[in-house]
Amino acid sequence: VSVETLQIRAGSGSYDVLVGRGLLGSVGSLARPLTQAKRCAIVTDDVVGELYGDALLGSLMDAGFDPTVCRFAAGESSKSWREAGVLLERLSGSGLGRDSVVFALGGGVVGDLGGFAAAVYLRGVPVVHVPTTLLAQVDSSIGGKTAVDLPMGKNLAGAFWAPLAVFADLDCLGSLPATEWASGMGEAAKSALLDGEGSVAALEADAAALAAREATAVDRTVLMAAGLKARVVSGDEREAGPREALNLGHTLGHAIERVAGYGTVAHGRAVAEGIRFAAMVAEDVLDVSPAYGQRQDRLLTAVGLPPGRRTYEPAALLQAMYADKKVRAGEVRMVLSKAPGSWEIRAVREDVLAHTLERWVYAPDTKGQTT
């Protein structure tokens, strides 16, 4: 097994992110030196539990852990305050003490919910992330953010809780449905744009191989994107500076998810549209050449994220942008990519947002229709 280690050195904790193939069977032995714990919980959803639960269970038992399995229904609707309560009562009912560990096996939903439960259970027990979606491997398992949704919006209650370690087994990605794959590619494309020319060129060259999920291309892409996230969160954990750059594509992305109804448009698809929108704003506000916008558009399409249906009301999207929890002092701050590896964070005026939204909805290649 060839495994790469990314080191996170953040104020709230230092930990390693291990990325490799066939890691699942070694999670127990790799986690063993990190904790004295015997009792532990495997928190997972029913889909991932079915696919990979036994492999993790066996690996933990072989390493002397005594696991309790906590499963919940797959999907964003489980990332709720209520489900967190159910989970906490389950941990307590199973007699897990302060010296136990939570293993979160699954996508971002499992990581956020399991991480949140670990953060508050007995005022905090360690969590180990075992991410199984592309999105979770390149993004959500790294950085120590945990959350649940409230009826008023996504991720409105949560905590920063750095994991003990992250074990990303690339073999798990083989069973990922196409929509989830595309969703993760949205974040991977974002990472490449933030990272620099080398990463953008590599992703362009790898696009066809990625569509076929060829191992070499997949491994390279996950390492690039996870590596970028690792570096950014090591430098700035609480999103006051460079970490804010990770929001590239998320201003319109979040607005689309909100207006379409959460769960209707996959996160990465919404982010891909958000990147296209941010490119239009960057042309307007920073005089970035349209050729760069076209390059981003082609890259997104090549990795499986062509422009989608743009049947939204621009006014509804604008309103959703102002309702986002990231709005500060009534200003919509956008991350604008100027060139690969170079960006600027700008408060964008409402009239600029409004007319760019019109332009985006009625872009000549889509005209508010399907592609």
Question: Least CB distance from residue 364 to ligand NAD, whole Å?
Answer: 31
Q: Among the options 39, 243, 295, 346, which is catalytic? A: 243
Q: Does 53 bind ligand NAD (CB under 6 A)?
A: no
Considering only residues 256 through 275, tell me which ones interact with ligand NAD, judged by CB under 6 A: 267
Length of the chain: 371
Amino acid at residue number 366: T
Task: Give catalytic status of residue 267 as yes or no.
Answer: yes
Q: Does 247 bind ligand NAD (CB under 6 A)?
A: no
User: By CB under 6 A, which span of 85-93, 101-109, 210-218, 234-242 interacts with ligand NAD?
Assistant: 101-109
| Nearest residue (CB) to ligand NAD, 76 versus 99 | 76
Site map for ligand NAD, 188-227, x if CB under 6 A?
----------------------------------------
Q: Does 132 bind ligand NAD (CB under 6 A)?
A: yes
Task: Give catalytic status of residue 250 as yes or no.
Answer: yes
Question: Least CB distance from residue 53 to ligand NAD, whole Å?
Answer: 12
Q: Does 155 bind ligand NAD (CB under 6 A)?
A: yes
Task: Give catalytic status of residue 229 as yes or no.
Answer: yes
**Chain position carrying tokens 């804010």:** 244
| Nearest residue (CB) to ligand NAD, 220 versus 250 | 250
Question: Least CB distance from residue 81 to ligand NAD, whole Å?
Answer: 14
Task: Give catalytic status of residue 247 as yes or no.
Answer: yes
Contact status, residue 195 vs residue 44, Cβ threshold 8 Å = no
Q: Does 107 bind ligand NAD (CB under 6 A)?
A: yes
Binding ligand NAD by CB under 6 A: which of 59, 140, 191, 199?
140
Tell me, by CB under 6 A, how many residues bind ligand NAD. Answer: 31
Binding ligand NAD by CB under 6 A: which of 26, 59, 100, 133?
133
Question: Least CB distance from residue 214 to ligand NAD, whole Å?
Answer: 17
Q: How far is CA 298 from CA 95, 211, 306, 371, in A?
A: 53, 14, 8, 14
Site map for ligand NAD, 159-178, x if CB under 6 A?
-------------x--xxx-
Q: Does 130 bind ligand NAD (CB under 6 A)?
A: no
| Nearest residue (CB) to ligand NAD, 18 versus 357 | 18
Q: Which residues share a beta bridge with 169?
A: 20
Contact status, residue 343 vs residue 337, Cβ threshold 8 Å = yes
Q: Does 44 bind ligand NAD (CB under 6 A)?
A: no
Q: Does 136 bind ligand NAD (CB under 6 A)?
A: yes
Tokens matching residue 170? 């690339």
3-state SS track over the chain: CCEEEEEEEECCEEEEEEEECCCHHHHHHHHHHHCCCCEEEEEEEHHHHHHHHHHHHHHHHHCCCEEEEEEECCCHHHCEHHHHHHHHHHHHHCCCCCCCEEEEEECHHHHHHHHHHHHHHHHCCCEEEEECCHHHHHHHCCCCEEEEEECCEEEEEEEECCCCEEEEEHHHHHHCCHHHHHHHHHHHHHHHHHHCHHHHHHHHHHHHHHHCCCHHHHHHHHHHHHHHHHHHHHHCCCCCCHHHHHHCCHHHHHHHHHHHCCCCCCHHHHHHHHHHHHHHHHHHHHCCCHHHHHHHHHHHHHCCCCCCCCCCCHHHHHHHHHHCCCCECCEEEEEEEEECCEEEEEEECHHHHHHHHHHHHCCCCCCCCCC
Binding ligand NAD by CB under 6 A: which of 56, 125, 180, 217?
180
Considering only residues 264 through 323, tell me which ones interact with ligand NAD, judged by CB under 6 A: 267
**Chain position carrying tokens 């090549």:** 302
Which residues are near ligand NAD by CB under 6 A? 45, 47-48, 51, 74-76, 79, 106-110, 112, 132-133, 135-136, 139-140, 143, 145, 154-155, 172, 175-177, 180, 183, 267
Residues annotated as catalytic (active site), given as ranges: 123, 145, 187, 229, 239, 243, 247, 250, 254, 267
